Amino acid sequence: MARDCIFCKIVEREIPAEIVYETEDVLAFTDANPQAPVHILVIPKAHIPDFNSIEQEQLYLLSSVGAAIQELANKFSLADGYRVVNNCGENGGQTVAHIHFHLLGGRKLGWPPG
């Protein structure tokens, strides 16, 4: 874990979050500033700074994230559709340097993003 990372602290239960899914590899919790009726952050527990930093031997974690998203979409009744977003780096709008996937749903989402 990275000492100064808020998402690592959520993994370690050092700061509170509403946790909605957990496996050995993956944690999901509701976003503190939700942009849709359902706004969940899905993260590998390992501290990976961003999408571009995923090492070859960590790629399996993307499968774990995918399984989490499918289960959460079912759990939160998103049969009408949803969006998965990964913001990578400054131009991507990433503000927390621990890779995370936004799962957004519960309303019709606009496109394109800003």
Segment 36 to 55, residues that bind ligand 5GP, using CB under 6 A = 41
Out of ligand 5GP, Zn ion, none, which partner does residue 83 contact, by CB within 5 to 8 A per kind?
Answer: none
Rounded to 5 degrees, φ, ψ at 52 are -70, -15
**Using the rule CB under 6 A, is 94 a contact of ligand 5GP?**
yes
Told to judge if 98 belongs to the known catalytic residues of this protein, a careful annotator would answer no
How many other CB atoms sit within 10 Å of the CB of residue 105? 22
Sign of the Cα torsion 42, 47, 53, 58 reads: negative
b/e map of 18-41 (b: 16 or more CB within 10 Å)? eebbeeebbbbbebeeeebebbbb
Q: Is 112 helix (H, G, I), strand (E, B) or coil?
A: coil
**Smallest distance, Å, CB 64 to Zn ion?**
16
Residue 6 touches which of ligand 5GP, Zn ion, none (CB < 5 to 8 A by kind)? Answer: ligand 5GP
Among 44, 72, 73, 98, contact with Zn ion (rule: CB under 5 A): 98
Rule CB under 5 A: which residues touch Zn ion? 2, 5, 7-8, 47, 98
Residues annotated catalytic, as ranges:
100
